Amino acid sequence: MNYVTKELFDLAHTKAADYLSAFRYPWEALDGIKQMILDLGEKLPVDEYEQRAEGVWLHKTAKVFPSAYLGAPCIIGPETEVRHCAFIRGSALVGANCVVGNSVELKNVILFDNVQVPHYNYVGDSILGYKSHMGAGSITSNVKSDKSLVVIRNGEERIETGRKKIGAILGDYVEVGCNSVLNPGTIIGRNSNVYPVSCVRGVVPENRIWKTGGVIVAKNHRV
């Protein structure tokens, strides 16, 4: 199944590996991200991580620009850049070698290692897998306009989540084109691409391309 945690992610590329492995479906992990970060933070090696403020841990090789805001709790991993005017509202686990770009907002998220959200992105109540990338202006929409509970749609299948807030779940190596909107409960399988200026909803299987008008086609190669 394209929406199961073990099918979407290589858990070797996140400090949240033990936490995520306990959940069959990744959206089930969203409720506990805050406490998971607090628990992880207390165990981080003090020779590698600086505690910038209460509940805020920053790897000593990470680069945080002066105008960025780091809200608690959060962990910023090795060699990661948090650029000008980035707004980390809290409950954000950001892995190694990531880019959190100018005017990007993060809230209740797990970013695996080597994730890039480099320009004007909103990522809330979401999990972004290893080496996933969101193009400039692409966002996750985490609440439905009618405020009803989010349902995961996989073809004719409907999965009741019981949650009001779910953004998007991106598997490893996913590429999201510029100015795309990932509607609440979007799940994109490993190594899939989304065309720019797309409005995406439901489950996109692995190794696919979401094209203009919601047409989904197979890719000709695998990572």
Active-site amino acid positions: 119
From CA 87, how far away is CA 104, in angstroms rounded? 6
Rounded to whole angstroms, what are the CA distances from 26 to 37, 76, 174, 199, 213?
16, 21, 16, 22, 27
From CA 79, how far away is CA 2, in angstroms rounded? 31
CB 161 within 8 Å of CB 203:
no
3-state helix/strand/coil string of 10-46: CHHHCCCHHHHCCCCCHHHHHHHHHHHHHHHHCCCCC
Under 8 Å CB-to-CB from 63, ≥6 apart: which residues? 80, 81, 82
* Helix/strand number for the chain, H first, E second: 3, 24
